[in-house]
Structure 1
Amino acid sequence: MSVAMSGTSRKIRTLFLSDIHLGAKASNAAALLGFLREHQAEKIVLVGDIVDGWKLKRHWHWPQSHNDVVQKLLRQARKGVEMIYVPGNHDEFARDFQGLHFGGIEVIDRTVHETADGRRLLVIHGDQFDVVVMNARLLAHLGDWAYVAAINLNRFIALIRRAFGLPYWSFSAWAKLRVKRAVNFIGSFETTLAAEARKEGLDGVICGHIHHAAIETIDGDMTYVNTGDWVESCTAIVEHFDGRLELIRWMDVLAKREADARQPSVQALPAPDVRKTQAA
C-alpha cells in the first residue's frame, strides 16, 4: 500500500510493541517502519516475539526491511530513548540474557510500567500462561503453521479488496474470533493475565502473544491491554503524557489516508465579476 506519510512526528510518552516476528515472511516490517517514523516516544517497550526464532531455525529470511527495523530501534536507544525488551516464546533465546543491556536495550522477563496517572501495570509477553505453549510444543508449532496459511490467504483477499476500493479486513482474525474455542481461549487468557497482575498488587497488565489487540477493563477495576501484532493487524499501544492509553490500528490509518487521497479535489468557483453585475 503506497500512502504518503503525514509529515509530522507525533510525540508520545510510551510505545508498546509486540509480535513483530522479524524473520518471518508474514512480518509487516515496512508498515512498522512507517509507524515508527511518525511516532516519537520517550520510552519503548518491546513485549515479546520481536524476532521469530522458530521460523529462522527452519528457513533463514531476513530482508532489508527487517534489518531496518532493528537499526531504527537501536538508533532510538542511542539517542536516549529508554528501551526495554521483554522476550516471548518465539524469541525465547533472549531470556538467557535477562538483566543485560545490548546497545542501550535492557532485556528482562517481566517488568512493571507506571503510567503518568499513577497506574502500575505488569508487562509480560503472556506465553507463560498459555498451556499449549507450555505443555505441547508440537501442537504449538502446528498451530503456527496453520496461522501462516491463514496469513497467506489474507494477502490474496487484501489484493482483491484493494482492487475494489474496499478497506483492509483480516480473514485470519475474523476466523479466529468465529471459532468458539478461540473465543474461549482469548477470554481465559485475558482473565488469567489480569488475575496475575492482581496477585502482584498491580492495577493491570500489558501483554502480547495472542495477536488480539485490546484495551479492556476486567472485573470492574483491572486494566487489560494487549498490543496485538505486526503480522496481520499492525497494532500498537501508545501512552500519552496524561497517562491515557490508546490502541492504534495502523492499517486502518493507512487505509483512511488512501481513501482520502482518492477523493477528487473540489475546485473553488471563480468569484463573480462585481463590475459586470453592477453594469447590467
Structure 2
Amino acid sequence: PSYSPVETLIVSDVHLGSEVSRAADLLAVLKAHRFKRLILLGDIFADLNFKRLKREHWDLLSYVRKLSNPKRQVEVVWVEGNHDRGLSDVMSHLVGVHVLEEYEWTFEGQKYLAVHGHQFDRFMVDNQMLSELGANVFLWIQKCDFREQRLSRYLDRLNTSWLRMTPRVAAGALAMAAARNASFVFCGHTHVAMYREAHGIQYFNTGCWTQSPASYVTISSEGVRLHEHE
C-alpha cells in the first residue's frame, strides 16, 4: 500500500527476541511509510538475551540503523520501556540511537509527549522482581507454544485485563500531560491500542506488535491517526 507522508510514526512493544514478535510485518510497514521522525516507544526488546533474536529481528534493527543515518534526515527516538532497561549503551552502539526516558516535542504549535507507560503500572513498579519472573515464564511458554502462538497471545491479553493496566496507564498519562501542558500524550506498555480524551488532552496507546491486529500511530498536518495492521 501507498501512504501519504507523515511527520511522525510511533510504534511500541515489538518484543524482539520473543516468539510472538511480528518484526517482519513492522519492517514492511516502516518501508511503506515516509516520515520525518520515528519514535520507538519502549519494549522493543523482550529482554537482554540477544541470542533469542531471529533473522527478521536483526533485519528490523538494521533498518532502524539505516534510518538513523543523518543522510536519511529522519529523527529516530527510542523511549525506554521496562523491558529495555539496561540497553541504553548497547542501543547507542548497535543502532546509533540514544535512549530516553521520555520525549517531548512541538508540532504546528502544539506540545506532544511520549512515555512508555510502565511508570503508571503500580503492580509492576511495586513488584519488579515478580514482574521479571512472570516475563521469563511467559518467554518459556512461547517456546513451548504451537506455531500460531495462540496460547501465548491469549495469556498476554488475559494478563493485561487482569491487572487492569489499560485504564491506569491512560489516567496516569493524561495527568502527566496536564502537568506538562501537553495537548497529546502517547504510551505503549498495555498492548491494547486505544484513544481517550479528557480535559482537552488526547491520549493514544500505540498497542503492540505481538498480537493481531498490530497497531501504530501517525501524526501529520491532518491530525493523529491510530492504524491497525493485520
TM over 0.5: yes
Aligned equivalent of 1:27:
21
Structure 1 length as normaliser, TM-score? 0.70
SS of aligned partner of 2:34: strand
**RMSD of aligned Cα (Å):** 2.9
Aligned residues: 224
Q: Distance in 2 between matches of 1:156 and 1:50?
A: 19
What TM-score do you get using the length of structure 2 for normalisation? Answer: 0.83
**What corresponds to 1:94 in structure 2?**
87
- Determine the structure 1 residue equivalent to 2:45: 51
Residue identity opposite 1:135 in structure 2: D
2:11 counterpart of 1:17: yes
Is residue 224 from structure 1 mapped to residue 203 from structure 2 by the alignment? Answer: yes
Gaps in structure 1 of 5+ consecutive residues: 1-5, 159-169, 252-280
Question: Which residue of 101, 104, 109 maps to 2:101?
Answer: 109
Per-residue CA deviation, residues 73-101 of structure 1 (Å, 9 max, x unaligned), is: 11112112111111111011135689x78
Structure 2 match to 1:42: 36
Task: Indicate if the aligned counterparts of 2:18 and 2:139 stay in contact, CA closer than 8 A.
Answer: no
In 2, the alpha carbon distance for the partners of 1:157 and 1:48 equals 24
Offset, 1:206: 0.8
Conservation of the 8 A alpha-carbon contact between 1:147 and 1:172 = no
Residues 178-218 of structure 1: CA deviation (Å, up to 9, x unaligned) = x5x44x43212211111111112222311111111112212
Q: Percent of aligned positions with the same letter in both sequences? A: 25
Deviation at 1:52, TM superposition (A): 2.1
CA shift for structure 1 position 68: 0.6
**Counterpart code for 1:189:** V
**Higher gyration radius (CA):** 1
SS of 2:217's equivalent in the other structure is strand
Whichever structure has more strand as a proportion of its residues is: 2
Note the 1:116-155 alignment, pairs <5 A. Answer: 116=108, 118-144=109-135, 145-146=137-138, 149=141, 152=145, 155=148
1:150-161 correspondence runs (5 A): 152=145, 155=148, 157=150
- The one of 52, 56, 61 equivalent to 2:52 is 61
Conserved 8 A contact 1:114-1:121: yes
Q: Deviations over 1:98-137 (max 9, x none)?
A: 9x78765332211113233x32122111112222222212
**Contact persistence 2:117–2:189 (CA under 8 A):** yes
Match of 2:65 in 1: 74
Change (3 A) 1:43 1:137: same
Call closer, same or farther: CA 1:147–1:238 in 2, change over 3 Å: farther
TM-aligned CA deviation for residue 171 of structure 1: 4.0
Maintained 8 Å contact 2:165/2:190? no
Check 1:108–1:90 CA distance in 2 against 1; reply closer, same or farther (3 A cut): same
- Is residue 183–residue 200 contact of structure 2 (8 Å, CA) maintained in 1? yes
The 1:41/1:96 distance shift into structure 2, 3 A limit, reads same
Q: Distance in 2 between matches of 1:230 and 1:212?
A: 10
1:154/1:171 contact within 8 Å kept: no
| Residues 41-72 of structure 1: per-residue CA shift (max 9 Å, x gap) | 11101111112225x27xx2111101110111
Q: Secondary structure at the match of 1:155?
A: coil
Shift of 1:147: 8.2
Which consecutive segments of 4 or more residues in structure 1 shift more than 6 A?
Answer: none
Cα gap change, 1:238/1:136 in structure 2, threshold over 3 Å: closer, same or farther? same
Change (3 A) 1:202 1:70: same
Looking at structure 2, the residues matched to 147 and 222 of structure 1 have their Cα atoms a distance apart, in angstroms, of: 36
